Amino acid sequence: MAQNAFQFALSLERLANELTDEAMQLVTQKLALQALNGVVLKSPVDTGRFRGNWNVSIDTADPSVSDATDKGGSATITKGSAVINAVPPYRVIWLSNNLPYARRLETGWSKQAPAGVLALTLAELESQLR
């Protein structure tokens, strides 16, 4: 997945060279919102804790873990969208989930999400950029 993330970053860099600052900010926000929706809604649900632990932060990853549960995902998406919509231009938007079992879920541990969450979402975003 690291290679895919690197290729995705290169695609964004090429795109940034072609857009105005305002357009780049809108593209960044739109992609981040799609990424947030993708990872939250693709997250397998038992208690809703994994789905409710997606964090959105600016410039550095948010290392927090909460007891929040969000089976439907709407509260997590609403909270993260507020951060994304307020991001200044040319800042890095981080999506993170720090639950101890997040890596296992990404590598096929869940029958609900055997292909993971992040890899599928990244592939969808890459295809939209092409």
Extents of the domains making up the chain: 2-129
pLDDT grade for 12, boundaries at 50, 70 and 90? low
Neighbouring CB atoms inside 10 A of 121's CB total 20
- Mean pLDDT (whole number) for 10-24: 74
Residue pLDDT, tens place only, 110-125: 999 999 999 999 999 9
Residue pLDDT, tens place only, 83-107: 999 998 889 999 999 999 999 999 9
In the prediction, which pLDDT does 21 show? 81
pLDDT at 129 over 90: no
- Mean pLDDT (whole number) for 20-40: 92
pTM for the full model?
0.84
pLDDT grade for 63, boundaries at 50, 70 and 90? very high
**Residue pointed to by tokens 């873990």:** 65
Distance CA 107, CA 126 (A): 20
